[in-house]
Amino acid sequence: MQKNIITLKHAIFKLKHLILPILISVLIISCTKEKNELSPSSDIDEVKKEFYAQNPLADNENFFNSIFTSYINWDSVVVKDENNLYIKISSSETIYYGDSTFSINLADYFWLKAQKKDNKWGYSFISFIPNSEATRELFQGKIVTKFLSSNKVIIREYKGDINSSGLIAGFPPMREPCVSAYVAGELNNVYCSAGGDDDYEQWLSGGPGDYSNIPPSTGSPGGTSSTSPNTVKYKFENYACMENFLKNLENLSTFKDMVKPFTLDGNGTGNPNLQWSFKTDMSWDPNKGYNYGLASATNPNESTNRDVDIYFNANALNNSSDLVIAATALHEAIHAYSNYFLKTNKMNADGIVDEKIQEFWFTSALKTLEIQKKAGLNGDYRDHQTMMSDNVFPVMIGFLKAWGGNRYSSNEYVMASMLGLGQAGQMFDPSINAQMAQDVSSLFDKLKKDYKITDAAFNEFLKTHSNVDPNGPLNTKKISCAK
């Protein structure tokens, strides 16, 4: 597999590859028979029947929220006792909450609370929203309750330690106005408090007691697990913050399927490996070009799996904004998946598709382009055309927006997604012919036109984000362990 290198030429701002990947947090469900059964209860039919009698419109995909779709998973039930059940609410959409230091998919945290009072079932939507990795483990953060009978919402923030008896004394909950998150790349207020405490059925309100007995997300009862598979390794001896930086990116589920071959066993082809690290000998010279990083096969002669090593340029880590580092990660993860997919499925030979490789948005993009059959050609030529397609480029922008929130402008997210796409690999591979280079360059020029990005604006973006002034406004937007 040819090396994929991100580069920035002196007079030409057609970069070449960004790096980095990301993986996904693997949440493990465990259960204890007495308190937490992640299986239907004997009373579930009664609970379900009464729920739909009270909420006849609940089958509508926007019943719980008009901004995103969701549905009730009646096969995933936690039984606290005979009068208290929790049913998982799922969504096919990703609802990004957080910032560049911590982010989650809110869809993992939705529950339908069913509680019996005076021999009658009542229902409310509840969601626990941690503010950081630490508060997730301590069950501290916001708890959202939507009362289905009145359609009103209350949001409270709990800052004390939560245990089976509730909050530690001296830390009453704070009323919060709204919870904002990214849906389809756009920032929305997904929940806002309305009304006073007297307007609610307080007995159905979500609180600490709920989370002493049920998992707040899809993790194990009483806490969650966020561990990376041992097939993904991080080697950042001099940049300790990079492992956490990457793991925060891994929480964004758009990336989940892209790195799935590197994180799961049993995909029919063996389990490949992914390693993130850095190099100190990569070019950072205005005359030769700036190399942000590279991704290459661990063993180019290996025929079954697609083991990948991805390296950052230490100079890039020291002199780039975190937006550039995140965009590099996205770009190189796409290369890693593309090469794995094409090689594993023998697309360069006969177009056979192994159905054991699960479908997702990027796989679909590869299949819709004839260039997928030219897997023997330069990877940049093939992959960059795919990345600039309507199937992929908007998703890349949406990913970076979800990661960075309002810290950067819309145009900055567009230009970060464009990094490297104007190259067909000709700067590092003399065999790239002029027509291939022109094909990619023409698509890149069209991309700039479609998104109204001028050459001057793109050049200024590269200058600003790739040579961060220690005293400049972007200094606080570098990775925390930059030298």
111, 142, 165, 400, 408 from 178: Cα distances, Å: 19, 10, 27, 23, 22
**Burial class, 291, CB count within 10 angstroms (exposed 0-12 / middle 13-18 / buried 19+):** buried
Count of beta carbons in the 10 Å neighbourhood of residue 126: 23
pLDDT value at residue 243: 86
How confident is the model over 187-213, as a mean pLDDT?
74
How confident is the model over 84-92, as a mean pLDDT?
84
Banded model confidence at residue 138, pLDDT cuts 50, 70, 90: low
**CA dihedral of 438, 444, 448, 449, whole degrees rounded to 10:** 50
| pLDDT higher than threshold 80 for residue 230 | no
Higher pLDDT, 16 or 344: 344
**Burial class, 282, CB count within 10 angstroms (exposed 0-12 / middle 13-18 / buried 19+):** buried
How confident is the model over 24-47, as a mean pLDDT?
44
**CA dihedral of 130, 133, 136, 140, whole degrees rounded to 10:** -60
pLDDT tens, 261-308?
A: 676 544 444 556 788 899 998 888 877 777 888 888 777 666 555 678
Strand bridging mode 166-167 / 162-163: antiparallel
pLDDT value at residue 445: 95
pLDDT tens, 408-426?
A: 999 999 999 999 898 876 6
pLDDT value at residue 22: 30
pLDDT value at residue 357: 54
pLDDT value at residue 177: 82
pLDDT value at residue 97: 80
How confident is the model over 208-222, as a mean pLDDT?
52
How confident is the model over 249-254, as a mean pLDDT?
71
What residue segments make up the domains of the chain, in order of their start? 4-24+227-477, 44-212
pLDDT tens, 461-474?
A: 998 998 888 888 89
Average pLDDT, the chain: 74
pLDDT value at residue 69: 84
Banded model confidence at residue 36, pLDDT cuts 50, 70, 90: very low
pLDDT value at residue 11: 31
pLDDT value at residue 31: 31
Identity of the amino acid at 268: G
Give yes or no for a contact between 204 and 150, defined as CB atoms under 8 angstroms apart.
no
CA distance 119 to 83: 9
Identity of the amino acid at 392: V
Higher pLDDT, 141 or 46: 46
CA distance 291 to 7: 4
Higher pLDDT, 149 or 361: 149
Higher pLDDT, 383 or 444: 444
- Burial letters 379-413, b for 16+ CB under 10 A, else e: bbbbbbbbbbbebbbebbbbbbbbbbbebbeeebb
pLDDT value at residue 328: 93
Count of beta carbons in the 10 Å neighbourhood of residue 262: 26
Higher pLDDT, 344 or 331: 331
Q: What is the DSSP string of 115-173?
A: EEETTEEEEEEEEEEESSHHHHHHT-EEEEEEETTTTEEEEEEE-SPEETTEEPTT-PP
Q: Which of 355, 201, 326, 171 is nearest to 252 (CA)?
A: 326
pLDDT value at residue 455: 95
How confident is the model over 310-329, as a mean pLDDT?
92
